[in-house]
């Protein structure tokens, strides 16, 4: 019985050491450029254009949350809603990683 508990403990402990899939900022840069985000937000997401927020340098969690709000319709915007609707979860994570690194 003791051996079983040790094996279970070691197995569960090793699961916590398994790395989560990391977001890919380079892939996020590709999405940012290919989807036309650069047109409104600038090359690094920091272009100060009236009515278009600076998104470069924002925390990844914030960027992902806002993109997901556009995707679900919780946040309404006639430009961003269709742009975000076609993003996958991986796209969102990668975009967030890219923009946070700016």
Beta strands in the chain (DSSP E): none
Domain ranges of the chain: 23-100
User: How do residues 3-36 score in pLDDT, each as one tens digit?
Assistant: 554 444 444 444 443 344 579 999 999 999 999 9
Q: What class does CATH assign to 23-100? A: mainly alpha
Q: In Å, how far are 35, 56, 71, 73 from 28, measured between CA atoms?
A: 10, 12, 17, 22
User: How do residues 67-99 score in pLDDT, each as one tens digit?
Assistant: 999 999 999 999 999 999 999 999 999 999 999
pLDDT number for residue 47 = 87
């Amino acid at each position: 019985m003791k051996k079983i508990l040790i094996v279970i403990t070691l197995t569960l402990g090793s699961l916590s050491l398994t790395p989560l899939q990391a977001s890919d900022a380079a892939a996020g840069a590709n999405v940012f450029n290919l989807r036309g985000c650069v047109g409104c937000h600038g090359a690094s997401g920091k272009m100060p254009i009236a009515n278009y927020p600076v998104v470069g340098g924002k925390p990844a969690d914030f960027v992902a949350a806002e993109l997901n709000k556009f995707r679900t319709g919780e946040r309404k915007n006639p430009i961003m809603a269709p742009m975000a609707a076609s993003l996958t979860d991986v796209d969102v994570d990668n975009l967030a990683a890219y923009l946070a690194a700016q």
